[in-house]
Structure 1
Amino acid sequence: MLDSNLEKMKVADLREELEKRGLDTKGTKPFLIDRLQEALSAENGATGGAETGSADMDMDSNDSEQVQEVEEDEQAEEQQEEAEEQQEEAEEQQEEPEMEDEPATEAVEPAHQNGDQANGVKEEGTEEKPVVPEVKKAAAPEKGVKRKFGETGLSPEELKPWNIREDEPELPDDFVCLDWFNSDLNLRIRHDDFLSAMPLNKESWSWVYAGCRATHGISSGKIFFEVTYLDTMKVWTDKDGFHLDLRVGWSTNAASMQLGENDKSWCYSSAEGKKASNKEFLEYGAKFERGDVVGAYLDMGEEMVTMIFTKNGETQGEAYSFPRAELGGEALFPHILTRNVKFECNFGKKKDGTELAPLKEALEGYTQIAKCEAETLIRGDSGIKTREECHFILMVGLPSVGKTTWAKNYAAAHPEKKFEIINAALYLEKATVNGDSRKNHTTLAWEKVHHRITKALQDVLKIASSRRRNVILDQTNVYVDAQLRKARPFEKMKRMCVVMVPSDEEMAKRRKQQEEEGEMNIPDEACNEMKANIAFPNEDNGVFDEIVFTDLPREEAQAQLEKYNKEAQDAGFGRKHLEYQSQWEHNKRMRGMGPMFGRGGPRGFPRGGGGPFRGPMRGGPPMRGGRGWGGGHRGFAPQGGYGYGGGAWGPYGHQGGYQPRGGAQGYGAYPGNRNWGGWNR
C-alpha cells in the first residue's frame, strides 16, 4: 500500500487495519499511519521465518527470522522473482474480461525442500540447484465475454497435480510420545523428540487452545507422567488472566481435545490452579508457571480410579476419585492442553529407547508410563496408513443453509474416520474461558471475533493438506476458482464437493432458526456479495472426484444460484470484489520499486530494506526495526502470511509451506473485498 494511499485513509479506517493486525490503535493520524506502514513493510519486506533442527524454543511459533546462509538459495529466489515479474508483465498486456470471479494466481510454486535443507540450510554432501518452474498462462477471454456458470478462470498450469509434501513421521510402535494423529492441527509438535510442543499463537490464534493425547494409555496399574511448563508466548489478543494456560491430565480416547471440558477428561489448570472435568472448574491447588514441573498420577484400581497432581514434586492432594465402572471399560491416556504456553513431557523414555528419570521425586508405588510392560499399554487411534485413504470434503453454500449441521452429522455418522471439521464456529469452541464461551469474555463485537478466526483458518488448512487426516472444510466457498484452489493441495485424497442449495422456503426456515439461536455472524452486505458470485464447479473440473447436492438436484440448484446471482448483481452487489482485486493487483506490481514497496527495497539493495533503518517517524526519532541491512521486524508476518510460509519444516514440523512468495495463493488466499474478505475463507 502506498504512502499516499495511507494519507488518504480516514482515522477510523487506519484503526480498523491496525486492529486486524493486533496492533495498538491509539494515537493521532500521523502515528497511526507510521504504525500501519511499518506493519505493511514488515509483511511485504521481511524474509520468511525458518527454524532448523537445532532451533530452540525461545522463538514464537511465528516470530522466527530466516537466516539466509547459502548463496544459491538467494539466487534461486531472485530467479523466481524474475519469473513472477515476467508473468505480471504478461498479465498487464492481456485484456481483462468484463466479469472476473477470482484473480488468477501465480503459477510459480516454490521448490520444496526436505528436513534440514529447508530455507537455505543444505544437507551435508549435497548441492542445491535453484529450480525455477516454467510459467504458463492461459489466454484471457475476449473482452466482454462472461464466464459461464461453473467455469473456472484457472489456467492448466494452475490446475496441474499438486506437488505433495507430506508431514507424516514414522515412529516406533512402542514409543510413548505426543500423538501426531490424536492432536489438534494448531499444535506444533517437535520433530526431534515428539515430547515437546507449542500452539499456534499469532494474532487470533492467541484465543484458541491446542491439545494432544499421548500415543499410549493404560487400563490398570499406578502410573504417572510429568509436564514441564517451558515458557510463555506472545499474546496478541485479550489478556484476561486466562490467556496463558496449561492443562495437564487424563482423558479417554473418544474424549474431545478440550481437556477438562467433557465428562471423560480430568485436568489440573495453571491459570488459577483449579481442577476441571465436564466444564466444572473447582478450587484445587497452587498455580503453576514457567519452570514448574507438574506430575499427573493415576491409580487404576479394580474398583476405583484415583487421580493426584503434584507441583515440583509436592502433592496437591487427591483431585478425583470415582468408580471405574464409569469409564465403561475404556483406557485413560495422558492429555495436555495449552494456550500460549510451550511445554515438554517426560513419559519415561526417549525415541531411541533411552530411559528418562523423573524430573522430581515420584510418589511411592507409581511407574512412569513409558516404563510399564508393553502388554499393559493400550495404543490410541492409529493414523491413516496412506494418503489415498484420506477424505477431503469441501462445503459450498451461502450462510445459514445448514453446512455446519450437515458436517457434524456426517462426521458423527462416520466416527471411525475422525473427521477434522475446519470452520470458525468450531474453532471458537476451543477459545473458552474456564469452559465458558469466549462470547461472554470479550469486549470486541462477536462478529469481529468470528471474522478474525475465519481469516486465520488458512493456517490449519495448510497444515491439514500435509497430514493424513480426514477433513471437512466448512466455509461458504462461493467462488469456483477458490473451491478448486483449496482442494488442489489435497491431491491423491478422495475429494468431494458438497453443494447445499435449499429451496426459498427451506432457506427462510433455516435462516430464522439460526437467528433465534444467535448464530448470525455474517453481515447482510457480505451475504449479498456472496449471492452475486456463488457457483459450483462443473463435473469435468479435474479436481473433485465427486460433487454431491444435498437439497435441490444439480439443475434446480444451478437455476436457483443463477437467480441469486442476477438479483444481487441487479442490486449493485458483486463489483466491490473486482474493485478490490484491481487494487490488490496494482499493489502487487509495486514490489521492488522503492524502499517502502513490496519486499523491502529497490533492486541493488539487500532483501529486507532499502537502508540500515526505515527512517524517522514524523516529528520523532528513528523507528524500530533498524538493525542493519536486510533487517525485518520481529512480531510481524514474514512474506507468505503468519510466519508459516516458505516451506520451512524445522523441529516443530510443517510450517505451512506450499505458498508462492507473497501469499498462500494455492489456497485461494486473495484477500477479497475489504468489507467481507475473511468470510469466504
Structure 2
Amino acid sequence: MSASMDLSKLKVVELRAELSSRGLDTKGNKAVLVDRLKEALDREAVQGEEEEEEGGGREVEAAEDELLWGDEGEEEEEEELPPKISQNESELEADSQMDTSYEEEAKPVPVIKTEPELEAEKQKTQKVEEPTQAPVSDSSPKDVKPEIKQESVTKEENKDQMDVKVVSTEIKTEKEPEVIEVKDEPEEKIVVDTKDENRDRRDREERRGEKRRRSPSPPRRRSPPRKPDDEPDYDDTGVILSWYDSDLNLVIDKESFASAAPMFDHGFGYIWAGARATYGFQKGKVFFEVRLIENCDVSHLGDEPTPHVVRVGWSAGDTSMQLGEEPLSYGYGGTGKASTDCKFKDYGKSFCVGDVVGALLDLDSDAVTMIFTINGETQGVAFSINRSELQDKALFPHILSKNTKFRCNFGNEDSWFPPPDGYTFVSHIAADQRVSGPKRPEKREDCEIIMMCGLPGCGKTTWANEYYAKHLDKKYNILGTNNLIDKMKMMGLPRKRNYAGRWDVLIDKCTKCLVKLLEVASRRRRNYILDQVIVALFLFYLAKI
C-alpha cells in the first residue's frame, strides 16, 4: 500500500487489518487509525529508500563474487541464509508478539530484522510502489546473472517470510511514543468487559432457567372450598331438642328435632351423648316422654359391661351434658338407678329398647319433686329438693344416651302413656311461662375459638375447665381427649378405674374420635376451646375437610 493513497476512504476494519499486519496497535477511532497508518507508511517509504541504496551496493558485490568464485560463492551464500522456522514456532512467535503489543501499548517492542529479511522487504516495497521500475543495468551481461540470482533469493526469502508470518515490518525507535493510544484504552476496555460480563450473566440465567424447566415445581394445591355450615332452620318457638345445646357426637334428626342417635363407631361406643330441650321451666307441673327405639351395633367394643344405656331427667341450663353427674342435674338410667352429682342410688326398674320412660316435674309444691314412669307405671319419687337449691334457675328436659337411638314426645303428638292428673306436656305450657335456652350465634363471625398451647402437663386442661366455668353463658365446647375420657364414666366413676384393656389403645381411639368431632365442629356455629397437644395433626385434618 502506497503512502499516496487516500487512507480516509478505507473502512475501520481495513485500517485495523493494515495496522495488524504491521504489528501496530489497532485500537482507537478512525481518525487515530488513519494517522497511525499514515505514519507507518511514511516510515516504510524512508526505510525503503535507504535499504535500496545499501542493497544496490550489496547486489554489485554479490554479482562480482559470483563471477569470481562461481558455485562456491553460491554455496557460501546459501549457508549464510537464516534457517527456516517451522510453522508452529512462527505462530507462537507471532502470538507472543501480538500479546506483547496489547500488554505494552505505551512501549511497543521494536522488531529487529536480519539482513535477508530487509532485502526481502525492500523487494516487496519496490514491487508495490514502483511496479514499472527498470532493472539496474541492461547493457552489461555481468549484471544479468546477479539480478536473476537475487530474484531467486528474494523469492525464497519471501516464502520464508510467509511461513514465519511476520507481524511487523518496521523498526521502531525510542523517539516514537504512542501517546494517542493510551487515551482510548480505558474506554475500550470498559466496553469489552461490560459486554463479556453481560453475556456471561445471560448465559448463567439461561442455564438456570433451563435447569428450572427440567425440574418442574410441584403443582400449587388449592385450598378446598369451605363446606357450608351445618345449621338447619327450625321453629325456635316450639319445644324441641336443642341443636345448639347438645353434644357434637349426637346426631339429631333435622326434620322433627325430636329423635336422635349417638355416634357409635370406633371409640364413640364408649362416649355418652346428650341434649337438652330448647325451653326450661320454673313453675307448673310438666312432663315429657322418651321412647327407646334401637340399640346401635357396638360389637367392636368387646367386654363393655353396659353398652346400651339411656338416662332421662332434668337439669339446669348451665350444667354439662353429663346428666346426673353434676349438681342441679337429675337423671334416671336404664340400669334402674337415679343419680345426681355422680351419686347413684337404686330407684326403680331397669328399662331397654321398646320401653317408654316418662319424666314428671312438680314445681308448684314447696319441695320440688321428680317422678319417673316406665310404660305408664310410676316408679315413685326419685328426687325431692328444696326450691332454694335451684337458685331460681329453670330446669330443662334432658336426655343422655350411650349407643341407643331414642325419640322424644314433648307434646307434638298424643301421649304414648297418659300422665298422672295435673301434669301437662312441656310444649303445651304458654310461651310466657317458659324460659328460653341458649341461642346459637347468628353468623360464623360471632363464634369464638380458643386454642391451648403449651407442653404436656403444664396445666392447659385445668385452665380450660376454669375458663369454661367462669363463662357459662358462652357455652364453650371443650375439644380434647381428656374431655372425651370424662364422658366415658361408668356409674359416675372414671373410665380408667373400670377399663381392663390397654390404655394407650383407648387414647388412640379417643384421638380418632376427636378428629371426627373437629370435622363436625368446623361446620357448627359454636364457641370452642381446643385443648389438645398435637395441634398440627388436627389442623392437617381440618385442611382436608
TM-score, scaled relative to structure 1: 0.47
Q: 1:303–1:325: 8 Å Cα contact kept in structure 2? A: no
Q: 1:225 to 1:157 in 2, by over 3 A?
A: same
**Number of aligned residue pairs:** 332
CA RMSD of aligned residues (A): 2.1
The residue that corresponds to 1:540 in the other structure is: none
The residue that corresponds to 1:285 in the other structure is: 348
Select the structure with the greater relative contact order (CA < 8 A; seq sep ≥ 6).
Answer: 1
Higher helix share goes to which structure? 2
Q: 1:273–1:286: 8 Å Cα contact kept in structure 2? A: yes
The letter of the residue matching 2:321 is M
Are 1:338 and 2:401 an aligned pair? Answer: yes
* Deviation readout 1:637-662 (Å, 9 max, x if unpaired): xxxxxxxxxxxxxxxxxxxxxxxxxx
Secondary structure in 1 aligned to 2:468? helix
Map 1:453-472 to 2 at 5 A: 453-472=510-529
What is the rounded CA distance, in whole Å, between the counterparts of 1:94 and 1:259 in structure 2? Answer: 64
Query: Which residue of 217, 220, 225 corresponds with 1:139?
Result: 217
Query: Which residue of 464, 467, 470 corresponds with 1:410?
Result: 467
What percentage of residue pairs aligned between the two structures are identical? 40
Secondary structure in 1 aligned to 2:301? coil
Q: 1:304 to 1:94 in 2, by over 3 A?
A: farther
What is the rounded CA distance, in whole Å, between the counterparts of 1:394 and 1:94 in structure 2? Answer: 43
Q: 1:275–1:283: 8 Å Cα contact kept in structure 2? A: yes
Query: Which residue of 240, 253, 259 corresponds with 2:304?
Result: 240
Distance apart, 1:184 and its partner CA: 0.4
What is the rounded CA distance, in whole Å, between the counterparts of 1:222 and 1:435 in structure 2? Answer: 29
* Deviation readout 1:526-577 (Å, 9 max, x if unpaired): xxxxxxxxxxxxxxxxxxxxxxxxxxxxxxxxxxxxxxxxxxxxxxxxxxxx
Map 1:266-277 to 2 at 5 A: 266-270=330-334, 272-277=335-340
Are 1:185 and 2:242 an aligned pair? Answer: no
What is the rounded CA distance, in whole Å, between the counterparts of 2:274 and 2:367 in structure 1? Answer: 27
The residue that corresponds to 1:311 in the other structure is: 374
* Deviation readout 1:362-400 (Å, 9 max, x if unpaired): 111100000111111111111111111012233344422
Are 1:364 and 2:432 an aligned pair? Answer: no
Query: Which residue of 387, 396, 421 corresponds with 2:478?
Result: 421
The residue that corresponds to 1:256 in the other structure is: 320
TM-score, scaled relative to structure 2: 0.58
Q: 1:421 to 1:461 in 2, by over 3 A?
A: same
Q: 2:236–2:278: 8 Å Cα contact kept in structure 1? A: no
Q: 2:372–2:382: 8 Å Cα contact kept in structure 1? A: yes
The residue that corresponds to 2:264 in the other structure is: 201
What is the rounded CA distance, in whole Å, between the counterparts of 1:139 and 1:202 in structure 2? Answer: 41
* Deviation readout 1:278-330 (Å, 9 max, x if unpaired): 11111111111111000000000252101000000010111111111110000
Map 1:103-114 to 2 at 5 A: none
Secondary structure in 2 aligned to 1:294? strand
What is the rounded CA distance, in whole Å, between the counterparts of 1:376 and 1:239 in structure 2? Answer: 47
The letter of the residue matching 2:313 is G
Distance apart, 1:487 and its partner CA: 5.8
What is the rounded CA distance, in whole Å, between the counterparts of 1:239 and 1:348 in structure 2? Answer: 39
Query: Which residue of 408, 428, 445 corresponds with 1:388?
Result: 445
Secondary structure in 2 aligned to 1:401? coil
Q: 2:313–2:332: 8 Å Cα contact kept in structure 1? A: yes
Q: Which has the larger radius of gyration?
A: 2
Distance apart, 1:217 and its partner CA: 1.0
Secondary structure in 2 aligned to 1:181? strand
Q: 1:486 to 1:282 in 2, by over 3 A?
A: same
In structure 1, runs of 5+ residues without a counterpart are 1-92, 96-137, 141-154, 350-355, 489-664, 667-681
Distance apart, 1:414 and its partner CA: 3.2
What is the rounded CA distance, in whole Å, between the counterparts of 1:94 and 1:459 in structure 2? Answer: 42
Q: 1:322 to 1:290 in 2, by over 3 A?
A: same
Q: 2:230–2:524: 8 Å Cα contact kept in structure 1? A: yes
Secondary structure in 1 aligned to 2:452? strand
Q: 1:203 to 1:326 in 2, by over 3 A?
A: same
What is the rounded CA distance, in whole Å, between the counterparts of 2:538 and 2:382 in structure 1? Answer: 49
What is the rounded CA distance, in whole Å, between the counterparts of 2:527 and 2:255 in structure 1? Answer: 25
Q: 1:247–1:268: 8 Å Cα contact kept in structure 2? A: yes
What is the rounded CA distance, in whole Å, between the counterparts of 2:325 and 2:250 in structure 1? Answer: 18
* Deviation readout 1:325-384 (Å, 9 max, x if unpaired): 1100001000000000000000002xxxxxx11101211110000011111111111111
